[in-house]
Amino acid sequence: MLNTNLNKEIEELCFKYRKQAVLSIKQLQESGSPRKYFRINFPDSHSIIAAYSENIKENETFIYFSGVFASLLVNTPKVLAVNAKSTIYLMEDVGSTSLLDVFSKSETEKLSIAQQALDYLIVFQTDGVKHIDFSKCYQKQIFDKELIFWDLNYFKYYFLKHEIDSLNEPALEADFRILSDYLTAIPNNYFMYRDFQSRNIQVNNGKLYFIDYQGGMQGPLQYDLASLIYQAKANFSESERKSLVDYYLQSLSAKNSGK
């Protein structure tokens, strides 16, 4: 699709939603995903976000998850309108400051705001699983051994092979099998966000907002916790990681006990 045609479709959907012509459309910086995001500004200074992707199943999963999370009162972008082909949807604009930006600028707030993120994570994991129909997941319904090996091989090919000259691959594969057996044996009846990193958490007017959860599925608790506290760019020290793990376990225990 040509950009001019895409812009026209976005403008038409925006006008249908707001009954107002757009003032400007600015494409946001792309990440590793083929999805494209645009900030739409209107003459009255209001702004919204438009998302475009040809992966209709992924779009439908995001829209469905957004409705579930809104019912749980989790701060996720409200989906405002969807085009007939489900290739474009409009969302609430939750700002452009990520939690990673906050981490890099304020060491004093780092732990307290990370704890807030973990409080929300527990809601996603324990309350989300009670309301989500996992047949609507766009990849897989459950985090299984195949996906574990996909992650492990990604780690091997994109990190280890670049860092270690003489990699003992048979020994590594044996370790991978042991680890995957262990991971598939632990409880996995929770919602797994799958990409719970600080770049997918926005900070707007003192509140945390969560984005990019369309890859979610049923899975274990540990994956998302590790995604946040071991994200390299977040740069947590080992003592900070221990503190956050302790906080998470205490909060999870309190929620499970009904406190």
Fold of 3-92: Phosphorylase Kinase; domain 1 (3.30.200)
Alpha carbon 19 to chain centroid, angstroms? 31
pLDDT at 1: 46
The 10s digit of each residue's pLDDT in 173-190 is: 999 999 999 999 999 999
Residue boundaries of the structural domains of the chain: 3-92, 99-143+188-256
Could you read off the pLDDT tens digit of each residue along the chain, which spans 259 residues?
447 899 999 999 999 999 999 999 999 987 767 899 999 999 999 999 999 999 999 999 999 999 999 999 999 999 999 999 999 999 999 999 999 999 988 777 899 999 999 999 999 999 999 999 999 999 899 999 999 999 999 999 999 999 998 899 999 999 999 999 999 999 999 999 999 999 999 999 999 999 999 999 999 999 999 999 999 999 999 999 999 999 999 999 999 887 5
CA 72 to chain centre: 17
Q: Which pLDDT score, from 0 to 100, does residue 259 have?
A: 54
Looking at domain 99-143+188-256, does it have CATH number 1.20.1530.20?
Answer: no
CA–CA distance, 243 with 238 (Å, rounded to integer): 9
Could you report the per-residue pLDDT of 140-156, keeping only the tens digit for each? 999 999 999 999 999 99
C-alpha 55/C-alpha 78 separation (Å) is: 20
State the pLDDT at residue 46: 97
Whether this prediction's pTM lies above 0.95 is answered by no
**What is the identity of the amino acid at 211?**
I
Q: 3-state secondary structure string, 24-86?
A: EEEECCCCCCCCEEEEEECCCCCEEEEEECCCHHHHHHHHHHHHHHHHCCCCCCCEEEECCCC
Q: Looking at residue 241, what is its pLDDT?
A: 97
CA distance 239 to 47: 40
> What pLDDT is stored for residue 191 in this prediction?
98
